[in-house]
Amino acid sequence: MTTLSDTPEETPLPQPTAAHVARAVLAVFLLTFIASRVLVILIMSQTMPDLFLHMGGTHVHHLNYGIFLLSGVGAYLLFRRPSGRHLTIAAIVYGVGLALTFDEFGMWLHLGGGYWQRASYDAVVVIAAMLGLIAYAPSLKHYRPRHLVWTIVLLSAVGVFAVMLVRSVQRYTPALEKMEVNGPQ
């Protein structure tokens, strides 16, 4: 028979650092964004079956899944205040929800617009850069001149990448829009 004094005390889970949580969010955010774009391209080009959810003839965009995930994670963080592994899992789900929602950011601005809007790419680049800075930048009290140099290099690289991304999207937009028109509705 086990009594209360015989049971081992539950030790609290170690709290991950903000940088650890930000790295988890960043990694999952990028992977989810890439995966969602690849899946949409494969579905629109009719290379794979239509996996889109349709309700009453209406296509439910994946930004809606992201909104529900973000709402659920927000409630979980507020009401449960997880720590340790549970906080890391919440960060992973948050990253998925963030990517699904901001992947279609252009639709927030232009509800009738096409899927391949530049605003979505811009939003993803900005969020990824911010998450990267949170994840990898030292705290301000540990900031040294060499960190300023690397911050400038990083921001410059993100800027160059964003310009190249925009140019490549502009180049392929007509083909992508044609694929959207001819693909599953």
Convert the pLDDT of each residue in 57-67 to its tens digit: 887 888 899 99
Burial class (CB in 10 A: 0-12, 13-18, 19+), 137: middle
Average pLDDT, the chain: 78
- The total of other beta-carbon atoms located within 10 Å of residue 160's CB is 10
Confidence bin at 160 (pLDDT 50/70/90): confident
Check whether 175 has a pLDDT greater than 80. Answer: no
Contacts of 167 (CB under 8 A, 6+ apart): none
Q: Work out the average pLDDT over 68-75.
A: 97
H or E stretch covering 7 = none
pLDDT in tens, 5-29: 555 555 665 788 888 898 889 889 9
Q: CB–CB of 15/87 below 8 Å? A: yes
Question: Would you kindly state where each structural domain of the chain is located, as residue ranges?
Answer: 17-51+59-182
What does the DSSP 8-state code read for residue 45?
Answer: T
Given pLDDT bands bounded at 50, 70 and 90, which one contains residue 172? Answer: low
Q: What is the mean pLDDT of residues 113-140?
A: 72
Give me the pLDDT at residue 85, please.
92
pLDDT at 138 over 70: no
Q: Assign 11 to helix, strand or coil.
A: coil
Taking the whole predicted model, whether its pTM rises above 0.75 is answered as no
Give the pLDDT confidence score for residue 173 in this predicted structure: 67
Please state, in angstroms and rounded to a whole number, the distance separating the CA atoms of residues 26 and 164: 21
CB of 22 within 8 A of CB of 135? yes
Q: How confident is the model at residue 75 (pLDDT cuts 50, 70, 90)?
A: very high
E strand or H helix at 60: strand 58-60
